[in-house]
Amino acid sequence: MNAYISGFETVRKMLNDISKRHTKQNFTLPSLIWQTNYKLQIIAAIESYLMSHWESAELGVDIEGVESLAKATLGYFTGTHEQQIKIIDLFIKLAKNVQSKITTDAQKRAYGKTLFGVQDIKDIEAWVLTKSSELLLVNNENELLDLLWPILMIKIDHANLAKFAPIEQHITFAKTWIQGQTYVEMLDTLKKTGSYMIWGVSQRQLDQEFIIDIADGAFGYNSTLIVAAVVEVLKIHSDDIEDDFFKLMDLLQKQLKYGLPNALTISLYEIGFSDRVIAIELANAFPLFPVYKPELIREIKRNREQVGKILDRFPSYFTSVLNSL
């Protein structure tokens, strides 16, 4: 706990020292990192929980509010008396860490939305403050992804992405995903780049399951949390950013979430055609359909027969979606 509060560098140094002292017991650094990361994720979740409840529970006033939050957890309810004491102590220590490092209520309120703990959000904040002027100059989502990529790579915590090599092809993978390539197409593209899986001290060929896990997990989930956190940091530190920039951030976030290439495919996906292949197929067939969802639905209704012919090639569920609009 003390190492975490001191910072990730202290944690890494501690793990490195432990692995060196206990080599004979097979305390390898990778295994220690894996075990510690799981615990750090729990700590970060508690800190995020504390930040999101800071004002409503008046956590900055006294420790009673912190204790009440701790006692409301399932862990406290099911724990022994000794474990309950430790849970309360953990919450109090983390609340003090939040109080000392996230100094304003506005920051606590904003950063509590991000699902990140104190150290992660402070790292993201520091990166954003050094890159904010560059971020505001980007013209499209591809430039935005290129600029955000370093912080995404630092903060995406995903086991299989860490096994994907070479690291230079990570962004290639992400771009094939948001271009809307199918999993089969992505696998073929990445094999042609010479990419592979790290498997212990050896290498293995990429496979479909590996690709799906990274696309859906690392890009479709983890990366979107980081993009959202960048937005929250910018909103806290700048009050004169144009709406067009935040619309661009929102577009990239949804591209990463769904693996889709543009606003029309995303709108089609979100109104019920929630399959990447189908959303892209419809967008290609009707490229002039509006992006705004109410107008899009009206246009689909006007072209119900033509849309239905395309959907006939896919599972009947999607025809039922069409009929329900």
In a shared domain, residues 316 and 251: no
Instruction: Give yes or no: residues 252 and 268 share one domain.
Output: no
Question: Which residues, other chains included, contact 247 with Cβ-Cβ below 8 Å and sequence gap of 6+?
Answer: none
Helix (H, G, I), strand (E, B) or coil at 199: strand
Rounded to whole angstroms, the Cα distance separating 181 from 271 reads 21
Residues 184 and 238 grouped into a single domain: yes
Same domain, 107 and 145: no
Q: Which helix (H) or strand (E) holds 174?
A: helix 170-178
Which of the listed residues 95, 113, 131 is the one where a domain comes to its end? 113
DSSP state of 274: -
The residue segments making up the domain with residue 284 are 263-324
DSSP annotation of 314 reads S
pLDDT reading at 9 higher than 80? no
This model's pTM is above 0.85: yes
Same structural domain for residues 307 and 219?
Answer: no
95 and 12 share one domain: yes
Distance CA 57, CA 143 (A): 41
**Whole-number Å distance between alpha carbons of 146 and 123:** 19
Please indicate, yes or no, whether residues 165 and 286 belong to a single structural domain of this protein: no
Give yes or no: residues 151 and 253 share one domain: yes
178 Cβ contact partners less than 8 Å away, ≥ 6 residues apart? 141, 145, 219, 252, 255, 256, 259, 260, 261
pLDDT tens per residue across span 179-223: 999 999 999 999 999 999 998 889 999 999 999 999 999 999 999
CB atoms within 10 A of CB 74: 7
Number of domains present in the structure of the chain:
3
70 and 20 share a domain? Answer: yes
In this predicted model, what pLDDT tens digit does every residue of 227-248 receive, in sequence order? 999 999 999 998 889 999 999 9
In this structure, are 63 and 145 located in the same domain?
A: no
What does the alpha-carbon distance between residue 35 and residue 180 come to, in Å, rounded to a whole number? 35
Tell me what pLDDT residue 239 has.
83
Quick one: pLDDT at residue 59? Answer: 82
206 and 250 belong to one structural domain:
yes
Query: Is residue 223 domain-shared with residue 268, that is, in the same domain?
Result: no
Tell me the pLDDT band of 39, cut-offs 50, 70 and 90. confident
Please give the biggest Cα pair distance in the chain. Answer: 72
